[in-house]
Structure 1
Amino acid sequence: MSKSKTPAKVSTGIAGLDQILRGGLPASNLYILQGAPGAGKTTAALQFLRAGVEAGERCIYVSLSQTAAELTAIAQSHGWTLDGIRIEELSATDAVHGAADQTIFQTAELRLDETREAIEQAIEEHKPQRLVYDSLLEIRLITGDAPRFRRELLGFKAFLAKRSVVAMLLDTQTSETATGGEEVEGIAHGVIRFDKSLEDYGSVRRRIEVSKMRGVPIADGYHDMAIREGEGVVVFPRIVPGDAIDARKAQLIKSGVDTLDDMFGGGQESGTTTLVIGQAGTGKSTMASLYAMAALKRDEHVALFLFEERLETFFRRSEGLGMDLRQFHKDGQLIIRDFSPNEISPGEFAQIVQSIVTEFKTRVVVIDSFTGYLNSLPHREKAVRDIQSLLKYLARSGVLTMLIVAQHGLLGQNVGIDVDVSFLGDTVLLLRIMEDEGRLRRNITVVKKRHGPHDLDVHELFIKSAGITVVPFNPLPTA
């Protein structure tokens, strides 16, 4: 019995989208790219055609809605050229003008048959392997009713199929057309949707969904995306925890402070998540620096993601405790990313973490602070679900992940986020400040540890320039 061949696939020109599609678009089919004005459809379409040019294919951009000058401007904004892409533009008079690298069909309120004939003639003449049709909104306006529009689309699909053209049809979604896309989705081999929303604060949030793709086991649901200068549309596929592979056995990760390690039953396990919870000034970030320094001295890679503290502040604070981390950072062993959470989506953050862990075989990851990260996002419940998938991925990669979680106020007890994150931690390290006989004392307690034994006693934490000390808590003697 002969084995069935895997259908050929073509790249969309967007690496993250190809990953969602498990390799790309099945060849010789018709696809619909939907989205509101400004969602990124034209940019994605140009990336699709540029990928075809790189593969040595003939490519045509048929435009009913944008001029060649506008397309050129979009390409130039990313540092691209349209070399190798044929532009077929339908605009305002009946005259037909030829040019060395493009043909312009000028029309005034073209009848549908004239539009079809002009496009089919261009396809017959140039015989493209890839085609972008921009946009279906204009064809809807010309046809005037849904049945005629559907017949026209079916005829165009059959015409392209006979010539083995991979076609991407752009469908601009407006308030009038957003609910009328069923006639398109039933005909297309696949439907990709771009979504954008403007929150009360921060930049535009963009998402992508492959709502339909015949014969491909896609990663369905929404995935974060962005439009970047010089890159175009960038897609961040959701993390799949099962993709992580780590053949190393679980090991105890030590802090370098024996009494602290003893509280964890000898150390923290690799492949677990630790929540470090406490008020301001209790030493949360110091704990993270302590474990980072110990890992670096073991010649392991450490990744630190700062959402509140500046990089220079982090270095100076660590140096004040006798931990010089600058050289490790210069040498590339300590990877630090310092960014504004308002400019990053959960999907992009997860991709950054995943790529660093994969590239550098990172053993310790610190997110400081997780509270600041969540508080900057418009949909914190969704962000918690996304971070849960990331934490599972890191666990299966054998990484110790430390999440710094701040509490309200100097002496308050409420965690500074309105969603429950306690379930994320395999281990919970609680840091507190208490007043005792006119003196503030730092307490440290391991309140939860899923794997193995741990000490439930309250200990006192001393943070001094000479280093970190943990001792059993003893009440001050009374006079």
Structure 2
Amino acid sequence: MTRLPTNADVPASDSALESMHKPPIATGIEGLDFILQGGLPAGRPTLLRGAAGTGKTVIALTFLCQGIAAGETAVFVTFDEAPEALLGHAEGFGFPARRYLAEGRLRILDMRPDRNEVQVGETIELTAVLARIGFALDSLGATRLVLDAVDGMETGFADLPSLRGELTHVFDWIRERAVTCLITVGEYADFSTRYGLEDYIADCVIALTQEVSNRVMTRVLRVVKRRGAAHGSNEYPFLLDRGGIFLVPITGSVLSAKVSDTRLSTGISGLDAMLGGQGPYLGSITLLSGQAGTGKTSIACSFARAACEAGLSVLYISFEESLDELIRNQRSLGIDLARYHRTDGGTVDGLGALLLQPVRAVELGLEEHLMRAIRSVRQHRPALVILDPISGLAARSRDPVAKEMLLRLLHLIKEEGVTTVATELLADDGSGVSHLDVSSIIDVWIKLRRHENDGEMNRLITVVKARGLPTSDQVKEFRMSRDGLQIVDPYVGEGGIVYGTARMARQTEDEETISQLHLDLERARQLRAELGEIQAANERLARAEHEVKTAALDRQAAEIERRLAAIERTRTAIGRGRA
């Protein structure tokens, strides 16, 4: 018979010393391993403390089952819940604990105190408990150990000093065994003085709390200490639901986003033209800011349709409209989202899948909203994420870190290489000022506003910024109708710029004015031509009169010259006769 691997034959001191130089052991919770810079200290005890409902047992089950899935074996020791209940919890989170148990890769030891069986005198005898645990570890060759709810032994001790002393012995025994152990314990106001574990015994301490703000609860994790290695020291919100534990080290994001030269159409030809002809870059962040009714959601849905038509997957997270509302409302504009909507993320006829996730902004805290968004992005790996409206999250929170949380959310999505389109609701005071204050990370910023004149409301659109794109600096009209979404150049006339029906009236007026001016111009030209003809006739008449007078004077001069010549000849003839 093959002998199971064991560390029972290794001297305790050697095992403990060797474990100090081993790499950390991953918990299987990506965010927690990131914070711990690899995982829990190998072969050492880690204390996980927190009040009821903070997720201690779930984290312990995840640590255990992820290790088993990776080929290890593990022992779970419970001092609180029944083994059957723990198996149900594990399977509820998708871990095949019963199969692991049947395969001999997992063992659950029920160590719930029973005063009639394990108590000797007035104290619990831990020697037998540790012997059972040690035998289970050796039998399985287990490398992972969980002691769940060790504070449940408190009822079996006459006083707390006795319990503290025994727990110190348990921690030393774990180090000697060189087994990676996670110990869960409840949280009390006087925890340090009550048990004396936090500051002196555990090699790593993780604290879980529940914070309630505006009647909304958020679970928070903090690594209090970790001997011999660095760790994240901030508070990190995390999710606990049917999907298990999800933790994003939001305060640990880095600027590592990859860039792309590929462009994504907005689905509106006029808007593409305003962005250089092809739309924004893939992987960029586009913010659509505007007052209520200016068409922010419709443009976002146009983005979604264009991406699906290009065969790309889209994740649409709506914080205000339900699924049916969104589909119905956009259908009136010719945008049929139902055609692309898929609940399983599959594709049909080469079209991209559209996954719609409506969730009311008031239902969850800001941190939980952000983590759910990140988890959805990592689960579904979409090419485009739409957050509509992102201002619905920040508007609910007066916390000064709300802006930082939104910035980190956008950073994290961008680091995944995902294109983001977010909408922002601006106040109706007409100032058009953004209160999110996240423009520093925005690549493309498009503003929409209402323009009211002569009893009519028109929608105007402009591109405030677009990094790396040759953009239009004009304010144009944005039209929404059954024929779809259109960008229309404003009418620029003699009286200025006009939009909407005023455009047609002004254009008609200007056309009439132009026609009249053309008539006046033709008349003036005709009069000018007639005046020229009169002038030419007068010149011809004057020239004729001049020629007649000149001819008469020429004849008169010639006659005089003839008479003078005749007189001169007569005188000359008379003079010769006298001579």
Separation in 2 of the partners of 1:397 and 1:56? 31
Separation in 2 of the partners of 1:47 and 1:110? 36
Separation in 2 of the partners of 1:193 and 1:206? 11
Q: 1:396 to 1:175 in 2, by over 3 A?
A: closer
- Which residue, 230, 246, 253 being the options, matches 2:264? 253
Q: Is the contact made by 1:366 and 1:402 (CA closer than 8 Å) also made in structure 2?
A: yes
**Residue 43 (structure 1) aligns with:** 58
Separation in 2 of the partners of 1:299 and 1:51? 35
SS in 2 for 1:253: coil
Shift of 1:258: 3.7
Q: Is the contact made by 2:112 and 2:153 (CA closer than 8 Å) also made in structure 1?
A: no
One-letter amino acid matched to 1:61: V
Matched, 1:200 2:252: no
Q: Which runs of 5+ in 1 are unaligned?
A: 96-104
**Residue 89 (structure 1) aligns with:** 111
Q: 1:134 to 1:471 in 2, by over 3 A?
A: closer
Q: 1:81 to 1:435 in 2, by over 3 A?
A: same
One-letter amino acid matched to 2:392: G
One-letter amino acid matched to 2:50: G
Q: 1:257 to 1:174 in 2, by over 3 A?
A: same
Q: Is the contact made by 2:432 and 2:449 (CA closer than 8 Å) also made in structure 1?
A: no
With 256-265 and 438-447 compared, the bigger mean Cα shift is at 256-265
Separation in 1 of the partners of 2:377 and 2:294? 30
Q: Is the contact made by 1:133 and 1:167 (CA closer than 8 Å) also made in structure 2?
A: yes
One-letter amino acid matched to 1:401: T
Q: 1:285 to 1:138 in 2, by over 3 A?
A: closer
- Which residue, 460, 470, 482 being the options, matches 1:443? 460
SS in 2 for 1:312: helix
With 455-464 and 80-89 compared, the bigger mean Cα shift is at 80-89
One-letter amino acid matched to 2:22: P
Shift of 1:59: 1.1
One-letter amino acid matched to 2:219: R
Separation in 1 of the partners of 2:417 and 2:136? 54
One-letter amino acid matched to 2:410: L
How many residue pairs end up in the alignment? 452
**Residue 319 (structure 2) aligns with:** 307
SS in 2 for 1:221: coil
With 382-391 and 235-244 compared, the bigger mean Cα shift is at 235-244
Separation in 1 of the partners of 2:257 and 2:452? 47
**Residue 59 (structure 1) aligns with:** 75
Q: Is the contact made by 1:278 and 1:406 (CA closer than 8 Å) also made in structure 2?
A: yes
Q: 1:428 to 1:188 in 2, by over 3 A?
A: same
Separation in 1 of the partners of 2:268 and 2:59? 52
**Residue 484 (structure 2) aligns with:** 467
TM-score when normalising by structure 1: 0.79
Q: Is the contact made by 1:29 and 1:167 (CA closer than 8 Å) also made in structure 2?
A: yes
Deviations 1:47-106 (A, max 9, x none): 44444555452514152x5566765675676687674433242534343xxxxxxxxx2x
**Residue 102 (structure 1) aligns with:** none
Q: Is the contact made by 1:197 and 1:205 (CA closer than 8 Å) also made in structure 2?
A: yes
Separation in 2 of the partners of 1:427 and 1:76? 45
Matched, 1:228 2:248: no
Separation in 1 of the partners of 2:415 and 2:355? 20
**Residue 331 (structure 2) aligns with:** 319
Separation in 1 of the partners of 2:414 and 2:108? 49
SS in 2 for 1:420: coil
Separation in 1 of the partners of 2:476 and 2:193? 62
Matched, 1:157 2:168: no
Aligned identity (percent) is 25
**Residue 516 (structure 2) aligns with:** none
Q: Is the contact made by 2:274 and 2:463 (CA closer than 8 Å) also made in structure 1?
A: yes
Q: Is the contact made by 1:14 and 1:235 (CA closer than 8 Å) also made in structure 2?
A: yes
Separation in 2 of the partners of 1:50 and 1:257? 49
Separation in 2 of the partners of 1:227 and 1:397? 23
Deviations 1:125-183 (A, max 9, x none): 4335343334454677858577x776654433332222222222223211222676775
**Residue 282 (structure 1) aligns with:** 294
SS in 2 for 1:209: strand
Q: 1:7 to 1:120 in 2, by over 3 A?
A: same
Separation in 1 of the partners of 2:385 and 2:241? 27
**Residue 391 (structure 1) aligns with:** 410
Q: Is the contact made by 1:52 and 1:59 (CA closer than 8 Å) also made in structure 2?
A: no
Separation in 2 of the partners of 1:249 and 1:174? 51
Higher radius of gyration, 1 or 2 = 2
**Residue 391 (structure 2) aligns with:** 371
Query: Which residues in structure 2 correspond to 1:422-441 (within 5 Å)?
Result: 422-441=439-458
Q: Is the contact made by 2:192 and 2:199 (CA closer than 8 Å) also made in structure 1?
A: no
One-letter amino acid matched to 1:89: M
Shift of 1:121: 2.8
Q: 1:209 to 1:432 in 2, by over 3 A?
A: same
Q: Is the contact made by 1:238 and 1:347 (CA closer than 8 Å) also made in structure 2?
A: no
Shift of 1:398: 4.6
Q: Higher RCO, 1 or 2 (CA under 8 Å, sep at least 6)?
A: 1
**Residue 424 (structure 2) aligns with:** 405
Higher strand fraction (1 or 2): 1
Q: Is the contact made by 1:443 and 1:460 (CA closer than 8 Å) also made in structure 2?
A: yes
Q: 1:173 to 1:396 in 2, by over 3 A?
A: closer
Matched, 1:123 2:139: no
One-letter amino acid matched to 2:301: S
Q: 1:339 to 1:178 in 2, by over 3 A?
A: farther
Q: Is the contact made by 1:92 and 1:108 (CA closer than 8 Å) also made in structure 2?
A: no
Separation in 1 of the partners of 2:416 and 2:85? 46
SS in 1 for 2:341: helix
Q: Is the contact made by 1:236 and 1:347 (CA closer than 8 Å) also made in structure 2?
A: no
Separation in 2 of the partners of 1:233 and 1:252? 36
- Aligned-residue Cα RMSD (Å) equals 3.7
Shift of 1:290: 2.1
Q: Is the contact made by 2:74 and 2:137 (CA closer than 8 Å) also made in structure 1?
A: yes
Deviations 1:261-313 (A, max 9, x none): 33333332333322211122111111112222233333333322111112222
Deviations 1:235-260 (A, max 9, x none): 344385548664x6323433343432
Q: Is the contact made by 2:374 and 2:412 (CA closer than 8 Å) also made in structure 1?
A: no
Separation in 1 of the partners of 2:465 and 2:452? 24
**Residue 100 (structure 1) aligns with:** none
One-letter amino acid matched to 1:87: L
TM-score when normalising by structure 2: 0.67
Q: Which runs of 5+ in 2 are unaligned?
A: 1-19, 491-496, 510-579
Query: Which residues in structure 2 correspond to 1:15-54 (within 5 Å)?
Result: 16-51=31-66
One-letter amino acid matched to 2:297: S
With 32-41 and 47-56 compared, the bigger mean Cα shift is at 47-56
Q: 1:115 to 1:223 in 2, by over 3 A?
A: same
**Residue 569 (structure 2) aligns with:** none
Matched, 1:271 2:294: no
Separation in 1 of the partners of 2:82 and 2:314? 50
Q: 1:390 to 1:70 in 2, by over 3 A?
A: closer
Separation in 1 of the partners of 2:372 and 2:292? 25
Separation in 1 of the partners of 2:353 and 2:83? 48
Q: 1:67 to 1:301 in 2, by over 3 A?
A: closer
**Residue 172 (structure 1) aligns with:** 186
Shift of 1:461: 1.2
